[in-house]
Structure 1
Amino acid sequence: MPEPEPIRIAGAEFDLDAAAATALLAVTEPLARGRAQGRTGKLGRRGALTRQRLLTSARTLFEQHGYGAVSVLQISEHAGLSQGTFYQYFTDRAHIMSTLVLGYVAALVSNAALAWSVDDGRAGIAALLDFYVRDYLGNAAFAGAWEEVCQIDPAFADARRRLTHFLERGVEQQLRRGIEHGVLDPPGDAAATARALTAMADRFCFLTYSFDQRGAAMDWRESARLLTDLWWQVLRSE
């Protein structure tokens, strides 16, 4: 059987299985819609390295200074390239940010650790939240930049909303299984409970690692353990 062709969105290629590709397309469709593609076609090794230099520089600067404070000229200079070279690969600052978001979402939706199963009991919740907190911590500065751009660009806000819905649906599906099998007893219906629990995890991580750090950042293991205890107290069937 031939290998599946990589999917291409907004000039970026991703090697994903069918389920992850479907999720990525659904989440990031607002970013691909109406965006100019920049340089098209297969990049050679040199072109791929140049494009990656620009992406790395953009992410570094967005994380350090915020999206609004960074210009195309600054990204180009940080990468050691001209603005003309930047425009060979990306049409503007929003285009390079959307490409960074695409890569972040692709990594997230393709990770098997998000596949929580109620059959694993509390250990399954712990594994899910261990992954989520650890991944968030590793991308905390970028999450802050994405949060910022969501306030000024509706396409980014729509993609963020869709990613939230994707995460909520995964939790909701398992809650419904747990209710059906009598192993979980949430205080509300599955959809509302899934929203409340995912919002708790997401906002806790945002406040703790991106927005309002107080002294030394809380160890991710401690954060994951706290969230696991809270989820389990809400969901367990006595």
Structure 2
Amino acid sequence: MTARSSSEPLPSPTRQRLLDAARAVVEQHGYGGASVAAIAERAGVAAGTLYRHFPSKAELFVEVFRDVCEREIAAATRAAAAADSAADKLDAVLANFARRALANPVQAWALIAEPVDPAIEQVRIDYRRTYTRDVERLLRAAIRQGDAPPQQTAITAAALVGAGNEVLAGPLSPLARRGAHDDEAAIATLRLLCRRAAGIA
């Protein structure tokens, strides 16, 4: 998954307004609770206008999920850039992922675990693959720098990303009582778990 190329045409103002509205509704209600009527109302257009730009809800949300995923990848890149060693970059990326998810639980649940249409699930899979490749790249750098032992980096990276998703699944679930979990304790535990799994002191 890559950021939008500078050569790609920008969406029309109405299309962009619809995308922004859809993303805001997902942040509040998740994918399942995001109705076409609510999105159109928030964008200030009729439902028919929405369907002229996006023939189906699934097509609209493919674009929304892709945009959200690109934002998360960009946030991970910034977190890595702010750290020094490769081991610290890896730690920062995983902590950033958890902290952003816990700060926006409804959207994060939609991004990670909420049942979605197959086309949207493919975007989710692409995002996870990209994120896992980035984690693997940082892990390889940590090995080169002597901060982590030799290992099968693809397997470790997949395990670290999977661990993050599983640790967050409980607090992010719509069934969870907000405030019932200690977010900072969960993040600290995840960081420790990931460092130990990667063999980082």
- Shorter-chain TM-score: which interval? 0.7 to 0.9
Aligned pair 1:209/2:172, yes or no? yes
Listed as ranges, the gaps of 5+ residues in structure 2 are none
Q: Are the counterparts in 2 of residues 54 and 75 from structure 1 also a CA contact under 8 Å?
A: yes
CA distance in 1, matches of 2:101, 2:21: 20
Aligned to 2:142: 178
Matched, 1:81 2:41: no
Letter in 1 for 2:6: P
Secondary structure of the structure 2 residue equivalent to 1:148? coil
Aligned in 2, Cα 1:136/1:219: closer, same or farther, shift over 3 Å?
same
Cα deviation for residue 235 of structure 1 reads: 2.7
The answer to whether the 8 Å contact 2:61/2:120 transfers is no
Report the equivalent of 2:107.
142
Normalising to structure 2: TM-score of the pair?
Answer: 0.76
* 8 Å Cα contact 1:126/1:224 also seen in 2: no
Structure 2 partner of 1:190: 153
The answer to whether the Cα contact below 8 Å between 1:116 and 1:174 also exists between their aligned partners in 2 is: no
Runs of 5+ unmatched residues, structure 1: 14-41
> Which residue does the alignment assign to 1:29?
none
**Paired position in structure 2 for 1:21:** none
Q: Which residue of 2 aligns with 1:6?
A: 6
User: Percentage identity across aligned positions?
Assistant: 30
Q: Could you tell me the TM-score, scaled by structure 1's length?
A: 0.66
Say whether the 8 Å CA contact 1:149–1:156 is kept in structure 2.
no
Q: Number of residue pairs matched?
A: 196
2:112 aligned with 1:158, yes or no? no
Change in 2 beyond 3 A, CA 1:178/1:57: closer
How many angstroms does 1:60 deviate by?
Answer: 4.0
Maintained 8 Å contact 1:201/1:227: yes
Q: 94, 101, 114: which one pairs with 1:129? A: 94
**Greater mean alpha carbon deviation, residues 160-169 or residues 207-216:** 207-216
Deviation at 1:130, TM superposition (A): 2.9
Query: Equivalent residues in 2 for 1:19-38 (5 A)?
Result: none
* Pairwise CA RMSD: 3.3
> Over residues 110-156 of structure 1, what are the superposed CA-to-partner deviations in whole Å (9 max), with x where a residue is unaligned?
34235479962654343223321222234431232343343xx2222
Alpha-carbon distance, 1:58 to partner: 2.6
Q: Which residue of 2 aligns with 1:223?
A: 186
Indicate how the Cα distance of structure 1 residues 51 and 197 shifts in structure 2: closer, same or farther if over 3 A, else same: same
